Amino acid sequence: MTMSAMADATMGNATSVPLAKSFVVSLHDAHPGSRAQIEEQIAFLADRGVYRSSILVVPEFHHTGSLLQDKEFCRTVTDWQDKGHEIVLHGYYHDRKESPPERLSTIFWTRFYTNREAEFLDLPLETARLRVERGRALFASLGWRARGFVAPAWLMAEGLPNLLAEMGFAYTTRLREIIPLLPGLNRLRTSPSLCYSSRAGWRRFASCAWNKHLFGRLRQTDLIRLSLHPRDLEFPLLRRQIDQIVRAALKRGFQPTTYGDHVAR
């Protein structure tokens, strides 16, 4: 049974779902090298009725140089913002080249769960502050409004959310929750994100199996999060399921929005 068919089969239970339903699609790892992939994702989503997303931009992806060196990319990101997308600060380097040495307690997260990209997993808070400040200053120089910060792979050292709150960010997120950081915003919200691991065939298959199960649960709530990475649409298995999820979410009345607007409701 397709995702759309599953959604149709449960329409009789729609009265149990809250009226205000949010659909947040986040596009991860935007940088000059992934611009074409992100643009394809934006077009793919727009063709299905999703015109707003949270785009997670990395200032110096994998130490390959500042995004400021690519003027066309900077203009493109500004255009995305002007069209209603939210620009989110997503780490600084998105790698571990200048991170603390790995320990037995972190190897799973740094080598298996991610491919050595968990930049903020165990970063000293003062180092984290300097990187976040540098990234936010870069965003400000381009007129990009960074209301949120999302760590690569959603992995953060203890204390980082408090640091981000002190720095004036409105929210951060983990894989399973949205964390508002400013007084007066909604409280912590548990909401697992649909996402994919595409590095190997078995990972793609497992991701789709899990997301089918998770979507079945989330469609009964008032919030669905879908997180895409640059290569996700390249794989037919993932592309088909993403299409099904987007169409089914919209059919059930979930309204596309951004993280920033969702936490400010």
Residue 264 within any structural domain of the chain? no
Residues found in the chain: 265
- Domain presence at residue 263: no
Q: Is residue 265 part of a domain?
A: no
More confident position, 198 or 72: 72
State if pTM tops 0.85: yes
Residue 246 belongs to some domain of the structure: yes
Residue 201 included in any domain: yes
**Mean pLDDT for the stretch of residues 161-183:** 94
**Residue 149 is encoded by which pair of tokens?**
């910060």
pLDDT at 179: 95
Q: What is the 3-state secondary structure (H, E, C) of the chain?
A: CCHHHHHHHCHHHHHHCCCCCEEEEEEEEECHHHHHHHHHHHHHHHHCCCCCCEEEECCCHHHCCCHHHCHHHHHHHHHHHHCCCEEEECCCCCCCCCCCCCCCCCHHHHHHHCCCCCCCCCCCHHHHHHHHHHHHHHHHHCCCCCCEECCHHHCCCCCHHHHHHHCCCCEEEECCEEEECCCCCCCCEECCEECCCCCCHHHHHHHHHHHHHHHHHHCCCCEEEEEECCCHHHCHHHHHHHHHHHHHHHHCCCEEECHHHHHCC
113, part of any domain: yes
Q: CATH number for the domain including 138? A: 3.20.20.370
Lowest-confidence pick of 59-63, 140-144, 154-158: 154-158
Does residue 262 sit within a domain? no
**Residue among 89, 112, 113 nearest 26 (CA):** 89
Per the structure, the complete domain to which residue 203 belongs is given by 3-257
20 pLDDT band, cuts 50/70/90, is confident
Per-residue pLDDT band at 118 (split at 50, 70, 90): confident
* Alpha carbon distance 147, 112 (integer Å): 30
Look at residues 70, 46, 48 and name the one whose alpha carbon lies nearest to residue 57.
70
Domain count within the chain? 1
pLDDT confidence tier of residue 111, bands split at 50, 70 and 90: low
Mean pLDDT over each residue of the chain, to the nearest integer? 88
